[in-house]
Amino acid sequence: GAGVSQSPRYKVAKRGQDVALRCDPISGHVSLFWYQQALGQGPEFLTYFQNEAQLDKSGLPSDRFFAERPEGSVSTLKIQRTQQEDSAVYLCASSLAGTSDYNEQFFGPGTRLTVL
Amino acid sequence: TQLLEQSPQFLSIQEGENLTVYCNSSSVFSSLQWYRQEPGEGPVLLVTVVTGGEVKKLKRLTFQFGDARKDSSLHITAAQPGDTGLYLCAGGSWGGKLIFGQGTELSVKP
């Protein structure tokens, strides 16, 4: 009965380092979303998976951002050569079914990334 | 580009007062969701409205979807300190991704 889990919860990186953020969705959930939330703002969409297929990556801010979900379950968001503007909370959400926007998305607690 | 404007951004009130948060867009959304987020946690869904003019009530919270499905409001009656948090509206979009407003930071003082 576990919810969406994310790890690590906090990550401090030096500018230029690569980071990998992990998301474990609720078991059986088909859809998985990544969002970026800057301090004091609402989350912004990054990318979306349906099973292992990445159907939308229009929100990824640059080619330094890469996401994968190779077996249709766990997903990893990788950021290469981190910059200070990448500092934010990265939220993962999963939902049971496919493309209907009525499906409730269950959010993880997020990973707070700080780039020094 | 679909955008949601949420207001006010900050709201500080006394326990027992009423308040309304607004969410407006120039775009039509097929659904509108309201979330509440606590510090250090992810957003938690409060309600989904899908029909123009729809009104839903959740205890002291009343949610309304505009007739044209471009705007929504959240009204809280007799606010309590436990209502303190970040309230987010989000519009449903293609593929299920959510378009969020900027959020309203509510503080209810005892």
Sequential DSSP letters for B10-36? EEEEETT--EEEEEE-SS--S-EEEEE
Residue whose entry in the numeric block shows the structure tokens 């990893």: A76
Tell me if chain B has a CB within 8 Å of the CB of A71. Answer: no
What does the mean pLDDT of chain B come to?
92
Q: Does residue B30 sit at the A interface (CB-CB below 8 Å)?
A: yes
The pLDDT value given to residue B56: 95
The whole-number average pLDDT for the span B3-32 is: 93
Above 90 in pLDDT, residue A100?
no
Closest CB to B50 among A44, A102, A109: A102
In the predicted structure, residue A75 carries a pLDDT above the cut 80: yes
**C-alpha neighbours within 13 Å on the C-beta side of residue B25:** 28
Does residue B95 surpass a pLDDT of 80? no
pLDDT of residue B74: 97
Nearest to B95 among A91, A93, A99 (CB): A99
Cβ neighbours of residue A102 closer than 8 Å, sequence gap 6 or more = B31, B48, B50, B92
pLDDT given for residue A104 in this prediction: 81
Mean pLDDT confidence for A81-110:
87
Question: In chain A, where do the E strands start and end?
Answer: 5-7, 10-13, 19-24, 31-37, 44-50, 53-56, 65-68, 75-79, 88-95, 106-107, 111-115
Q: How confident is the model at residue A102 (pLDDT cuts 50, 70, 90)?
A: low
For the segment B16-26, the average pLDDT, to the nearest whole number, is 95
- Separation between Cα atoms, residue A96 and residue A24, nearest integer Å: 14
Model confidence at A99: pLDDT above 60: no
Q: How far apart are CA B9 and CA B102, in angstroms?
A: 7
- Measured between CB atoms, does B105 come within 8 Å of chain A? yes
Q: Are A42 and B6 in contact (CB < 8 Å)?
A: yes
Q: Does B97 touch chain A (CB under 8 A)?
A: yes
**What would the pLDDT profile of A14-54 be if each residue is shown by its tens digit?**
999 999 999 999 999 999 999 999 998 999 999 999 999 99
pLDDT recorded at residue B58: 94
Distance CA A94, CA A30 (A): 7
Query: Is pLDDT above 60 for A60?
Result: yes
- With tokens 């308040």, the residue in question is B19
A41: left (phi over 0), alpha (psi -120 to 50) or beta: beta
